[in-house]
Amino acid sequence: MKEDLMALASRAKAAARALALTDTEQKNAALTAAADALTGTAETILAENVKDLEAGRAAGLTTSLLDRLALSEERIASMADGLRQVAALPDPVGLVLEELDRPNGLHLTKRTTPIGVIAVIYEARPNVTADSAALCLKSGNAVILRGGKEAIRSNRAIAETLRSAVAGAGLNPDCIQLIGDTDRETATALMKLNGGVDLLIPRGGAGLIHSVVQNATVPVIETGAGTCHTYVDKDADLAMAVEIVYNAKTSRPSVCNACECVLVHRDIAKEFLSMAERRLAEKQVELRADETCRPLLSHAVPATQEDWGKEYNDFILAVRAVADVDEAIGHITQYGTGHSECIVTENQGTAEYFLRRIDAAAVYVNASTRFTDGCEFGLGAEIGISTQKLHARGPLGLRELTSYKYEIRGKGQVR
């Protein structure tokens, strides 16, 4: 089975080499053609999706998993829109990052290049197929897609549509390949395909990410795990703090940039918590509070050790009082995942103190952590949020899907 994967990766590599030399216009034309093709074949894709949903129901998938799996005319239109948006973004390949003349007359140009072959392992959401393919194509990379078995029929239909559209636009369709086998052995073999895969990006829950980190021998970017904190300082504008926490917790609790824990300075804990509890009650948010905060709340559950650092992905919020900003920083350093962390304060000095000391992809002063997102940061669409420190941190947009090389022009220099 590994041999098949190597053959697939070799085709991907050949396609990647050609794609690296393809000009922006042709890549954009292929993306636009693929967008049109998606809406054009919506009926076929939906028919395959229905089969996946039936199999999923028979297999007893949860409602939320079935919801992630389900496609509709609207969701397909939104996938197609995503492809058009990627077409509209600037080409990240061939950009000059630096130019340098050395004393010996050598001229160095540091220029962005595609990475090569990018593998994406994901779970039940079929839109990841189209999103990942579009971002990789625009950045000149071939993509090897390995989605979950729940979505295999939908993924096959989408991948086939994309492949024939890009072939119609004159590109090698092997720049987009979906792995048909959805067993665990194939995924593990993909994680160890050194020489065939230049980068592996897992997109999914903590279990998937953990499995990739433990098993992969190819380079990986860890994404997704987000236990985000909001620290409400004694000098906070409390009304602002309430709105920030409310938004960060409730606007979309299932995502990685949602707030999971609020740390509140004990001097303002009483006032803040009574305001916050009222607002959060609108969405029936369950509060799990430490011993200091619980008496200050009407309906809080006692927090246990397991609540610190917990990613609920739900309408649940941990609440803890701290003595000062240092204790807040200490808590975040111990329990955070390096995703997004926030301080609410009107004190400039405290804000800068927090900003310097928190080690996370995104550190906020007076804004909701929900903004950690490629589009919100102005990077365009993203393939995930990196929570590691190597290569890229935070939203992975087109630029983060490139590498670089040094071009060195000489006149016979020797050393």
Residues that bind a copy of itself (CB under 8 A): 17, 20-21, 100, 102, 106, 108, 113, 115-116, 194, 198-199, 213-214, 216-217, 219-221, 237, 240, 243-244, 246-248, 251, 333, 351, 355-357, 359-368, 370-372, 376-378, 388-391, 393-394, 403-415
Single out the residue of 4, 49, 392 nearest to residue 221, CA to CA.
392
Q: What Å distances lie between residue 6 and 85, 145, 213, 397, CA to CA?
A: 32, 14, 21, 27
CB 163 within 8 A of CB 157: no
CB 161 within 8 A of CB 36: no
Q: How far is the CB of 231 from a copy of itself (least distance, A)?
A: 14
Nearer to a copy of itself, 156 or 203 (CB): 203
**Pairing assessment for the beta strands 107-114 and 96-101 based on DSSP bridges:** antiparallel
Q: How far is the CB of 110 from a copy of itself (least distance, A)?
A: 9
Nearer to a copy of itself, 47 or 355 (CB): 355
Nearer to a copy of itself, 59 or 355 (CB): 355
Q: How far is the CB of 128 from a copy of itself (least distance, A)?
A: 21
Single out the residue of 398, 347, 394 nearest to residue 228, CA to CA.
394
**Residue 87 amino acid letter:** A
Q: How far is the CB of 100 from a copy of itself (least distance, A)?
A: 6
CB 313 within 8 A of CB 254: yes
Q: Which residue has the tokens 């000062």?
A: 324
Q: How far is the CB of 62 from a copy of itself (least distance, A)?
A: 27
Range 266-272, long-range pairs (CB < 8 A, 24+ positions):
266/292, 266/321, 266/322, 266/323, 267/234, 268/232, 268/234, 268/236, 268/238, 269/293, 269/296, 269/321, 270/296, 271/238, 272/232, 272/236, 272/238, 272/241, 272/242
Q: How far is the CB of 93 from a copy of itself (least distance, A)?
A: 11
